[in-house]
Structure 1
Amino acid sequence: MEESRLMKYVIDENGYIVRSYNPDDPNIPDNVVDAWEGSGFFKPRYDRERGQWVEGATQEEIDEILKGINPIDEPVSEVEQMKEQILDLQRVCNVLMANQS
């Protein structure tokens, strides 16, 4: 029988990961669970009754995570872009002038 090459995890009583093991580690305990295959989870939780990994995060938690990962930026006006460029130039000039002293 072929051994799984997936990471191995020790999980707590709620199914959340408390420790991970590389599959090549010779000291893996017997009570580990193989990692999930396929799509990732935001907060993986092992459902012992179903014998599979499930999403442990609520929809609100997922929305909050996604907000930080993929923020929707308002388009920047040309004037705002020019203000940023002027500030960058001022910073460079300040550094150059400070190095001349």
Structure 2
Amino acid sequence: MEESRLMKYEIDENGYIIKGYEPDAKDIPDGVVDAWEGSGFFKPRYDREQGQWVEGATQEEIDEILKGTNPINEPVSEVEQMKEQILNLQRMCNVLMANQP
């Protein structure tokens, strides 16, 4: 049987990621879970009861991320621009990690 090449994640008591590990890392603690397969999540959360990854963001949070919270004519601060860039990078990383061979 071929070993999974998915990232492995240490999660907190609520199922949110604390730390990620490469699949061949030597220092992986007990209790880590494999990364999710399939489409990415905005805020991945591991549901221990279901034994699978679920979306941790509420629909309201997702809607805010997708539409942005800034009115069209209001100037955006540099900090807000950076926050948006970080969120976009985080979403892209989630998708890329989920699609690793």
TM over 0.5: yes
Looking at structure 1, the residues matched to 4 and 28 of structure 2 have their Cα atoms a distance apart, in angstroms, of: 13
Matches within 5 A, 1:65-80: 65-68=65-68
What SS does the corresponding residue of 1:6 show, helix, strand or coil? coil
Structure of greater Rg = 1
Look up the equivalent residue of 2:46 and give its one-letter code: Y
Q: Given the alignment of the two structures, is residue 38 of structure 1 paired with residue 44 of structure 2, yes or no?
A: no
Determine the structure 1 residue equivalent to 2:21.
Answer: 21
2-structure distance, mates of 1:12, 1:6 = 19
After TM superposition, give the deviation of residue 2 of structure 1 in Å: 2.1
Query: Quick one: higher RCO (CA 8 Å, sep 6+), 1 or 2?
Result: 2
How many Å separate the matches in 1 of 2:52 and 2:58?
18
Equivalent position of 2:6 in the other structure: 6
Residue 52 (structure 1) aligns with: 52
- The runs of 4+ residues in structure 1 deviating greater than 3 Å are none
Q: Distance in 2 between matches of 1:30 and 1:12?
A: 13
Q: Percent identity?
A: 83
Distance 2:11 2:34 in 1: 10
* Cα-to-partner distance string for 1:29-63 (whole Å, 9 max, x where unaligned): 12100000000000000000000000000011001
TM-score (normalizing by structure 2): 0.65
C-alpha RMSD over aligned residues:
1.9
Which amino acid in 2 is paired with 1:3? E
List gaps (5 residues or longer) in structure 2.
73-101
